[in-house]
Structure 1
Amino acid sequence: MKNLIADIKIPDSKLAIEAAELVRDHADDLLWNHSNRTFLFAAMRGNMNKMKYDAELLYISSLFHDLGLTPSFRSPDKRFEVDGANAARDFLKSRGVPEDSIRLVWDAVALHTSIGIAEYKETEVSLMNFGVAYDVVGKNFDLISAEMRQQVVEAFPRCGLKHNILHAFLEGFKHKPETTYGTINADICETLLPGYKRPNFCHHVLNSIWDE
């Protein structure tokens, strides 16, 4: 793997390398490449805005952000974002990383699909949210030049992400669709999971146990 892509240095500390090795062992090409592009786009945004961020923690957060979709890390009853965040926390704890750094990575992973929240958190959290949204839905697409995008995609091909990522998401939580309630992932279940009808919050309120 090239160490410098689109003027962004891929972190190569012992911690970063071990994180990359762990994720590469469990993620297929689609998720591996997406996670690396997420970091690169996030770091580009941070550099363009002259933001101070911890590149190592941003990289590790990006690597782990979809790990909860994979067979080895998906739980039977938690949101996939929480599964990935817990995996990152366990990894960092086992390496003696300080609690503040662990908490930051946990938040970045757990909140990466929380539109309207993650972008107002710490720099690493908001940047990773930017990188995810940029790569998946092309949000703020023109902020990064076509030349820089091309360098990223040449290093980490998209593997048909536009047509394959939704199925990869569904595979990670089709056994627990109830965990997508109130999130954008409910859209995926309703679109791709036969017979699934998302819960409605208004129904829960109007049919609550309260007698009034």
Structure 2
Amino acid sequence: MTDVLVLPSGLLPDAILSITRTSESPPIAEHSIRSFLYARIRAAHEGTVADAQYREDLLFAACVLHDLGLGSLAQGRTRFEVEGADLAAALLTEHAVPAADVDQVWEAIALHSSHGIADRRGLLTYLTYTGVFMDAGRFTDGLDDGLLRQVRVAYPRPAGDRSVRDAIADHAARSEAAAPPYSIGAELLRQRRAEANTAN
């Protein structure tokens, strides 16, 4: 891997970065970029970069857009993963991305928090899920720590950062549809309310 930090460029990647950075808080936008870089490292480590299914353009879209449902464009009408997937699909469709590719990105985003499912739904969904959770410290065993350190230095994560967790709970609080039973949104909202009750 020559330079792990180089991001794709062009009209669509620029639009993806723009919508992410303007609609999400800076910590969440940086989490999304780190997720892509980590997913790229994982793909290189596992040798799937040479796989016919590997599409870095789609991986960039899925990872960088995966938390659109936690940004200012989301209405809180459904769970954040699905709302983000819908927003991402709309952006890609506007840029004439083929419907089959849009559908792959939609699935990767909609399932990115689904343990036990995402890793069984094809390479793009698996890598998106893995990149997201690598940023939470999982799935890093055996990887080149020098490459991981480059990502952490270029896009540092503040110590004790709870921005993603807090944003998920905020989104879930907006409507019953945004926090269906047993979803991660419902669980984080339940934890928040339990902590508030304990504090009182």
Q: Tell whether the structures are fold-level matches, with TM greater than 0.5.
A: yes
CA distance in 2, matches of 1:167, 1:6: 33
- Letter paired with 1:76: G
Aligned residues: 192
Contact 2:24/2:72 (<8 A) preserved: no
Match of 2:9 in 1: 12
Contact 1:119/1:125 (<8 A) preserved: yes
Match of 2:100 in 1: 100
CA distance in 1, matches of 2:20, 2:162: 22
Q: 1:60 deviation in Å?
A: 0.9
Match of 1:67 in 2: 68
For structure 1, which runs of at least 5 residues remain unmatched after alignment? 197-212
Higher RCO structure (Cα 8 Å, ≥6 apart): 2
Q: 1:8 deviation in Å?
A: 5.1
Q: 1:133 deviation in Å?
A: 1.2
CA 1:56–1:173: 2 relative to 1, 3 Å: same
CA 1:88–1:112: 2 relative to 1, 3 Å: same
- Letter paired with 2:65: F
CA distance in 1, matches of 2:78, 2:162: 25
User: What is the alpha-carbon root mean square deviation over aligned residues?
Assistant: 2.3
Match of 2:109 in 1: 109
- Letter paired with 1:183: S
Q: 1:6 deviation in Å?
A: 5.2
Match of 2:183 in 1: 183
Contact 2:4/2:37 (<8 A) preserved: no
Alignment of 1:15-26 (within 5 A): 15-26=12-23
CA distance in 1, matches of 2:148, 2:23: 26
Contact 1:71/1:172 (<8 A) preserved: no
Q: Could you report, residue by residue, the CA deviation over 1:38-82 in whole angstroms, capped at 9, with x for unpaired residues?
A: 001111111111113111111111111111011222x23211111
1:144 aligns with 2:132: no
1:158 aligns with 2:149: no
Contact 1:68/1:82 (<8 A) preserved: yes
Percent identity reads: 27
CA distance in 2, matches of 1:44, 1:61: 15
Q: 1:187 deviation in Å?
A: 2.4
TM-score normalised by length of structure 2: 0.87
CA distance in 2, matches of 1:90, 1:8: 27
CA distance in 1, matches of 2:121, 2:101: 14
CA 1:164–1:18: 2 relative to 1, 3 Å: closer
- Letter paired with 1:193: R
Q: 1:189 deviation in Å?
A: 1.2
Q: 1:5 deviation in Å?
A: 8.5
Contact 1:8/1:44 (<8 A) preserved: no
Alignment of 1:37-52 (within 5 A): 37-51=34-48, 52=51
Contact 1:80/1:172 (<8 A) preserved: yes
CA distance in 2, matches of 1:129, 1:65: 10
Q: 1:194 deviation in Å?
A: 5.2
